[in-house]
Structure 1
Amino acid sequence: MLINLIVLGLYFAILFGIGIAASRRIKNMDDYYAGGKSLGYWMVAFSARATGESGWLLIGLTAMGALAGVSAYWVVVGEVLGVAVSWFFMAKPFKRLTDKYDSLTVPDFLESHFKAKGHTLRMVAALCLASFVVIYVSAQIDITGKAFETFLNLNYFTGAIIGFLIVVAYIFIGGFLAVVWSDFFQGLLMFVGLLALPVVAYFAWDQHAELFSRLENIDPNLVNIWGGNEDPWMQTAKMLGFAFIGLGFLGSPQVYARFISVKNTAEINKGRWVAIVFTLISDAAAVSIGLLARALFTDTGMDPEAALGMSGEDTLMVLLKDTFPAVIIAIYIAIILSAIMSTIDSLLVVASSAIVRDLYQKVFHPEIGNDKLTRMSSYITLAMALLALAVAMLVAINVPGRTVFWFTIFGWSGIAATFCPMIIYALFWKKFNQSGALACMISGFLAVPFFKFYVQELDGIGPYFRELDVMGPAFVVSFIIGGAVSLMMAKKHKIAEIPEEQN
């Protein structure tokens, strides 16, 4: 325990140092919410990936690898494709337009892009974003509590509050710049840690050559890339449900805020391979950790939860204890917290920008200058964080059987279905207009709870949609409705600008 506390104390001290250093660079709202639009590709790539992965990568995806087997690699396929499409085809046109409009936030971009009359588009975007960000942040706080409980034997609620206080402190001090700098540091920790564990554990195991035969003896479905379900439609739904997680990288505001902050499009060209390699290695390593733990610590016919915890969420810790000494385990605890906090900090800054910049300043008090709002931004960030903490505590009390993987994916899906189809249309379709954008956001926002709490409970089709989950269906609904409304309302709106491709 003493070693753990020393290592964590050092880790937290580095985060606070980053926050203090960043605070000296904060002079106005551009700095607080977009880092002065001067960041290089290493910072942006690592920050975007650390933000996009979150605590579900180390606890949720390792557990999914242990329970689902090699079919969990479909998550890797989906995420790599999503990141590649985002960086290769979407990032540069988005950056050019946001620079032209002098946008600091995604709602800024939308209002300028569609030459919106009034603030309806901005208000809907800001409110939708703030709502699902609170849910997503609460999922990360929930993971924080579970991490402290599992790794440090602290009470769940105590751990959740400690993690919450730490991350809020350095955001409060340093804003977006502190978030990006800390994400770079934390992203490096995540990458190295995820790469090292499965490699060391595999070669330390005397019978590592028998990995797949041992998995097959435990359950033949564990080595079936298609999942092994006798119903081909159920099998397809499960595969797509895993792969569709990657759709969230095609326009989610907390990720695309990094493209607003990057120095120029040349940095995007350099950063895209960094982002893709990070995603491929870290995600594949997380699934591989689950496979190794399942082979090592469960026998034929044994319930994996008996060895690997509820829904497999102790998978990482079980393998760590078998592979590394206490001091290395303490470093891994810091890595797990890095994955969690790198997402919480980004989301809170995005939510704060939606309230302060997009609602308070742009809608209600346009006469107030950016400089005067910087301090207010800090307090709104704190208020949003407290709301997310309250939600996390309520969920923990009332939903004891929840899993890290699907709780996090619900929040991720909500943000993605609300914003990603709209961003894709805005960048590539000239006939897409303000009415279509509103339809995209509202339909995507409502489709997520509709599929989660209604369709998945239906007899007959419900089980298929449980395997498919909410991301794909809600994304499709938003895409179709947004496109249809744009065509119907085309005569009322001007054609949007689509930037020409430039190298």
Structure 2
Amino acid sequence: MITKIIVLAIYVSVLFLIGILASRRVKSMSDYYLGGKKMGFWAVAFSARATGESGWLLIGLTGMGAMAGYSAYWVVLGELLGVFISWQFMAKLFKRRSDAFKAITIPDYLQSHFKSSTNTLRIISASVLVVFVVIYVASQMDVTGIAFESMLDIDYRVGALIGFCIVLVYIFIGGFVAAVWSDMFQGILMFFGLVLLPIVVWFSMDHGTGVTVGLNAIDPTLTQIMGRSDDWLMNLFTILGFSMIGLGFLGSPQVYVRFMSIESEKEIDKGKWIALLFTLLTDAAAVTIGILARIYFTSEGQDPEVVLGNGGENVLSMITNEFLPTILVAIFIAIVLSAIMSTIDSLLILASSAVTRDFYQKIFRPDLKDEDLTKFSRLVTVAMALVALGIAILLYKLYPDRQVFWIMIFGWSGIAATFCPVIILSLFWKGYSEKGAIASMITGFLSVILFKFVISNLESVGAYFIELDVLAPSFVLAMLVGYIVSKMYPPKDLNTTSDSLKTD
């Protein structure tokens, strides 16, 4: 225990040092929320991927690998495609336009793109950000508590509070710069930890029979890459549910503010390859860790959730304690915290910008200058974090059997379904109107709730939509409604500013 605490103390000290160093660059709201748009490609690439993956990667995806077997690799393919499309076709165009609009937040970009004369679009986008970001941050704090409980035997609530305090201190001091720099540090830890762990486990196991034979001995359906059900339609929905998680990279604000912050378009070309390599290796490693844990810790006829926890959430702690010496277990605890913190910091900055910039300054106090709001921004960040912590504790009390993977996906899906269709259509279709964008956002927001709490409970089709989950259908509906409304209410001037900013 002493070794683990010492390693964690070193880890936390590094984060605080990053916060102190970053604070020297925070002189305005643009610095606090975008690092003055001077971030390099290494930092942005690692930060975008660490933020996009979160504790879901280490706790959720490892558990999903144990529960689903080979079919969980569809998540890897979906995420890889999402990251590639985002960096290859969308990032530079979005960077160019957001710079031309001098945007600091995503609502800034949307307001300028549509030349909106009202605050309707800004209010809707900022409100959705606050709601789903707080839910997503709460799920990350929930994972923090689980990690401390399973890996350090510290009470869940104490663990969640410790994680809350750590992340709050360094982003309170250093803002976006601290978040990005710490994300890079934490992303490097995640990368090497995840990639090396399955290699260590594989050579430590008795693997004479092979992975496929081992899984077949437990449950032959675990080796069915096309799904584990006898119902082909159920398998199709399962594959789509896994692979469509990658849709969230096509415009999610917590990722796209990184593109706004990068120094130049040339840096995006360099960062793309880092992001793709990170995604491929870490996602594949996470699923593999889960599969190896299923072989090692369970046998035929056993309930995996009894052995491995709800949704396999204890997989990582069990496999590290079994195969690694204490010092490396301690480092892995830091890696788990890295995955969680790298997302919490980014999301809190995002939610804070929505309240401070998009509500307080732009709507209620347009007379205030950016430099007058830095202190207020920090206070809002603290308030958002407290609300998220309260929700996390409430989830722990009310839903002790919750599955981490799907709670995180719900928060992720809410943000993605609301913003990704709008970002995509605004970048590539000049006929997209402000009313169409508003309709897309409202549809995406409501559809996530509809599919999660209504459609999935229907007797005839509910089981299929549980497997599909909420993101893919909500995404499609938001795109379709935005298209229809824009055709009904086209933009008055198709020769908008953004049309002159097309890619070469």
TM-score range, shorter chain: over 0.9
Contact 1:59 1:404 in 2 (8 A): yes
Question: Bigger shift: 196-205 or 276-285?
Answer: 196-205
Equivalent residue for 1:198? 198
Deviation at residue 270 of structure 1 after TM alignment: 0.5
Q: C-alpha distance in 1, partners of 2:368/2:491?
A: 35
Q: Which amino acid aligns with 1:212?
A: T
Give CA-to-partner distance per residue, 1:122-169, whole Å, 9 cap, x none: 111101111100000000000000000000111111111110111011
Partner of 2:470: 470
Q: Please give the per-residue CA displacement for 1:263-322, whole angstroms capped at 9, x wherever unaligned.
A: 010000010010011000000000000010111111111111232223211111111122
Kept in 1: contact 2:431–2:491 (CA 8 A): no
How many residue pairs end up in the alignment?
502
Query: What is the 5 A alignment of 1:130-209?
Result: 130-207=130-207
For the residues of structure 2 that align with 1:303 and 1:444, how far apart are their CA atoms? 36
2:503 is matched with: 501
Structure-2 residue corresponding to 1:277 = 277
- The answer to whether the 8 Å contact 1:432/1:495 transfers is no
Q: Which residue of 2 aligns with 1:249?
A: 249
Query: Does residue 384 in structure 1 map to residue 391 in structure 2?
Result: no
Secondary structure at 1:154 match in 2: coil
Give runs of aligned pairs for residues 342-381 of structure 1, distance below 5 A.
Answer: 342-381=342-381
Partner-residue secondary structure (3-state), 1:54: helix
Report deviation, 1:400. Answer: 1.3
CA distance in 2, matches of 1:101, 1:336: 38
Output the amino acid matched with 2:124.
V
Counterpart residue number, 1:123: 123
State the shift of 1:501 in Å.
1.7
Identity score, percent:
56
Whole-angstrom distance in 1 between the partners of 2:349 and 2:495: 32
Contact 1:21–1:174 (8 Å) recurs in 2: yes
Choose 31-40 or 200-209, whichever is displaced more. 200-209
Match status 1:261 vs 2:267: no
Q: Contact 2:148/2:159 (CA < 8 Å) preserved in 1?
A: yes
Deviation at 1:392?
Answer: 1.1
Mapped partners of 2:188, 2:216: distance in 1: 34
Task: Give the whole-Å Cα distance in 2 for the aligned partners of 1:210 and 1:78.
Answer: 26
Give the superposition deviation at 1:203.
1.5
Query: Do the aligned residues in 2 keep the contact of 1:202 with 1:208 (CA within 8 Å)?
Result: no
Corresponding residue number in structure 2 for 1:314:
314
CA contact (8 A) 1:418 1:478 kept: yes
1:411 to partner: Cα distance: 0.1
Amino acid at match of 2:503: E
Q: Is the 8 A contact 2:434 2:491 kept in 1?
A: no
Residue 492 of structure 1 and its aligned partner are, at CA, apart by 4.2
Match of 1:410 in 2: 410
TM-superposed CA distance for 1:493, in Å, is 5.3
Output the TM-score relative to the length of structure 1.
Answer: 0.99
Q: How much has 1:494 moved relative to structure 2? A: 4.2
Cα displacement string for residues 20-61 of structure 1 (whole angstroms, at most 9, x for unaligned residues) = 000011010110000010111100000000000010100110
Secondary structure (helix, strand or coil) at the match of 2:210 reads helix
How far did residue 394 of structure 1 move?
Answer: 1.3
Distance (Å, rounded) in 1 between the aligned partners of 2:466 and 2:299: 28
**Which amino acid in the other structure matches residue 474 of structure 1?**
S
Secondary structure at the counterpart of residue 299 of structure 2: coil
Q: How does 1:390-469 map to 2 (within 5 A)?
A: 390-469=390-469
User: Which amino acid counterpart does residue 422 of structure 1 have in structure 2?
Assistant: V
Q: In structure 1, what is the Cα distance between the partners aligned to 2:139 and 2:2? A: 28
Asked if structure 2 preserves the Cα contact closer than 8 Å seen for 1:433 and 1:493, the reply is no
> Is the Cα–Cα contact under 8 Å of residues 434 and 493 in structure 1 kept in the other structure?
no
Q: Residues 224-253 of structure 1: CA distance to partner in whole angstroms, max 9, x if unpaired?
A: 101131111001000100011100000000
Given that 2:175 and 2:349 are in contact with CA atoms closer than 8 Å, whether structure 1 keeps it comes out as yes
Displacement after TM superposition at 1:208 (Å): 5.0
Provide, for residues 388-412 of structure 1, a one-character-per-residue CA deviation record: whole Å limited to 9, x for no partner. Answer: 1111111111111111100000000
Q: Does 1:105 align with 2:102?
A: no
- How many Å separate the matches in 2 of 1:184 and 1:208? 38
Query: Does the 8 Å contact 2:304/2:312 carry over to 1?
Result: yes
Which runs of 5 or more structure 2 residues have no equivalent in the other structure? none
Alignment of 1:57-72 (within 5 A): 57-72=57-72
Measured in 1, the distance between the counterparts of 2:191 and 2:71 equals 22
C-alpha distance in 2, partners of 1:426/1:208?
54
Identify if the C-alpha distance between structure 1 residues 491 and 150 changes in structure 2 by more than 3 Å, giving closer, same or farther.
closer
Cα separation, 1, equivalents of 2:198 and 2:173: 37
Asked whether the 8 Å contact 1:431–1:495 carries over to 2, the reply is no
Q: Aligned in 2, Cα 1:270/1:221: closer, same or farther, shift over 3 Å?
A: same
Stretch moving more, 380-389 or 307-316: 307-316
Large movers: runs of 4+ above 4 Å: 491-495
Letter in 1 for 2:269: N
CA RMSD in angstroms, aligned pairs only: 1.0
Q: Is the 8 A contact 2:439 2:485 kept in 1?
A: yes
Post-superposition CA distance 1:413-442 (Å, at most 9, x none):
000000000000000000001001101111
Equivalent-residue separation in structure 2 for 1:211 and 1:408 (angstroms): 29
1:8 aligns with 8
Q: Which residue of 1 aligns with 2:337?
A: 337
Q: Aligned letter for 2:421?
A: P
SS at match of 2:401: coil
Deviation at 1:90, TM superposition (A): 0.3
Counterpart amino acid of 2:149?
A: E
Aligned to 2:215: 215
State the alpha-carbon separation in 2 of the partners of residues 33 and 311 from structure 1: 35
In structure 2, what is the Cα distance between the partners aligned to 1:164 and 1:228? Answer: 38
